[in-house]
Structures are given as C-alpha cells and as structure tokens.
Amino acid sequence: MDGIARAFWVRAPGEGEIRPVVMPRPSSGEVVVRTLCSGVSRGTEALVFRGGVPESQFAVMRAPFQDGEFPGPVKYGYLNVGVVEHGPPALLGRAVFCLYPHQTRYVVPAAAVTPVPDGVPPERAVLAGTVETAVNALWDAAPLVGDRIAVVGAGMVGCSVAAVLARFPGVRVELVDIDPARAAVAEALGVGFALPEQAAGECDLVVHASATDAGLARSLELLADEGEVIELSWYGDRRVSVPLGESFHSRRLVVRSSQVGTVAPARRARRSFADRLALALRLLADPAFDALITGESRFDDLPRLMPRLAGGELPALCVRVVYEQG
C-alpha cells in the first residue's frame, strides 16, 4: 500500500503549495482513506494561512494530524471526508469523517475516523468539525426552554450554533451580523436575522463568534441583567478591548470562554470526543446545514484560493474542496 499522495501546505505566511507526500504502509489497526472532499474552516485556517497564530499558542493550536510547525511550513486542516480503501471489514468502503488536513489519501488509526451516518451526504459531512464546536459551546452555555438568544457573528461557527439552537423548543434565536446578505442564510437555518444596531436586546444568552471588538461590545449590550456571553471567537495574536466599565458589574454580566479542544465540563465525565463528533454527524442529517457551504474549489486550486479567503476577497462561510477520483 505504499504510494504517493498530494497535500496542501502553507509554505510561509500568505503562501500555499501542493506537495507530494509519501504514504506509510498501514499497520494493523490503521486505515487508508481516499479523500472525497474537505472543508476550509475560513476563520481558523485563514488565520493560520496569514501566520497569525501567536507563539504562545503553537502547541494548543496544533491540528490532530498537523505536519510541520507554525508559522510554516505547515500542513493544517481538520475537515476531511473520504472512503476507507484499506482497513477493518466494518469500515471498508464506508464514508468516514476525519480531523485531517487537505490531502488526497492518508493513513490514520482506525479509531481516528468516524463513519458518516446513512442519510448524511459526504458533501455535507465536511461540516462535522464545526458543528462539533457548536455542540461543545452549547454544552457550555446550557440554554433553557424559552430563552432569548443572540448569536453575534454569522461566520461558519456562528451559523452552526444558530442552526443547532433553531431546534431548541420555544427559544428566540437571532443571528446578528454586519453583512445583510447573511439574512438569507439565517432564513435557511430557521432563525431570525438582524444587523447589530437592530438586534433585539434583553437576551438571556449571547454566543459571540465575530472575532471583533465591536461584536463583543455589542454582545454585552444585548444581554439582560445577569446574562452571559459565551465567547467562541479566536483572535489569534490580536489584542481585544473588552468594555468592562459602566454597568458591566452592576448588571452582573458574565463573559465565558468555550473552546473545542476539550469536552465541556458539563459533559466531560459522561461524553468522549468520539461521542461529541458522532452527535455532530447525526445533526447533519438536517439539510438546512447546506446553507453553510457557500463555495466550492478543486483541490489543485487551493494555493490560489487561500490568499483570497485570508484577504477577505471571498466572503464565503465554508468552502468545500473537491478531489479528483480514481
């Protein structure tokens, strides 16, 4: 099973290339996966592409199957769906999700892949890693029936959170973003939409995912007394101004971080990483999530696509990367 695969690498900040990769011979307990499609996580991957990961976070920000080191050369990514070509009979020929970078074929332990459930198209399953982030955030947030909730920042993570919240009974969910074009995405997900200045206040909970100072400030303004902001934004090496003056203390507001690198404390004793990812894949049976995939690219075009995404020229949510088969 030795062979040559091809992978996308960030050669240096702002520069990408396709490189040949020698695939190891799989051992017992490993699988060979042929990639069908992968997803570009626009926020985090654009930050990695720009070289914006601070040195203090090099270890924390490593992807599970990352090669190389920040800021580059580095092979980075974690939204990959493929077909098992070699491995245990129970997995052979199955579509699987793996937290693997953009590469045509790869070898990983069988435990590192999760079968895509029947009824979930592989093309939609590339969202599993981001929906997993949303699941973890809502385990942290613990929304209640009838809550008034705003999700500030209609990027890939924010939209995933809104899509999951739309299935909660009795809640008012409003997706808030500066781009009025995101209203169509909100409608497809079954939630409300507002520009920041028009957003409804008195929220019990606000999930912030805009990665901007202004978004965080507006999130605090939208809270009811004793409300909570769950901070999902990843700011990289940027300093952030947080408005903790005026009525922040008298209103007893809370800002709490959530990060997918560990299972939320509320579920850590009873749920594993595998349980969380399997749940995310089951949720993707809902075709509403298709609204999060707003672009498609050939694998060979990634070196030209990434500068445009990182520079903001393409305002996509998730770009699905498709691979030549055979």
Give the pLDDT of residue 3: 86
Query: Average pLDDT, stretch 163-177?
Result: 96
Residues 289-319 pLDDT 10s:
999 999 999 999 999 999 998 888 887 789 9
Return d(Cα 225, Cα 249) in angstroms, integer.
10
Which CATH fold would you assign to the domain 130-257? Rossmann fold (3.40.50)
DSSP letter for 117, please: P
**Mean per-residue pLDDT of the chain:** 94
Query: Whose CA is closest to 99, among 89, 85, 112?
Result: 112
Calculate what percentage of the chain has a pLDDT beyond 90.
84
- Please state the pTM of the whole predicted model: 0.91
pLDDT for the residue 44: 84
pLDDT at 43: 77
Give the chain's radius of gyration (CA, Å).
Answer: 20
Which of 60-64, 71-75, 140-144, 227-231 is predicted least confidently? 60-64
Alpha helices (H) along 102-212: 122-125, 128-141, 156-165, 182-189
Residue ranges of domains in the chain: 3-127+284-322, 130-257
Rounded to whole angstroms, the Cα distance separating 252 from 131 reads: 30
Secondary structure percentages of the chain, helix, strand, coil, to 5 = 30, 30, 40
Lowest mean pLDDT, pick from 27-41, 67-81, 235-249: 235-249
Is 324 within 8 Å of 299 (Cβ atoms)? yes
Whether residue 260 has pLDDT greater than 90: no
Q: Which residues partner with 83 through β-bridges?
A: 34, 95
Second CATH level (architecture) for the domain 3-127+284-322: Alpha-Beta Complex (3.90)
At 13, the pLDDT band (50, 70, 90 cuts) reads very high
pLDDT in tens, 45-80: 988 999 989 898 899 889 999 999 999 999 999 999
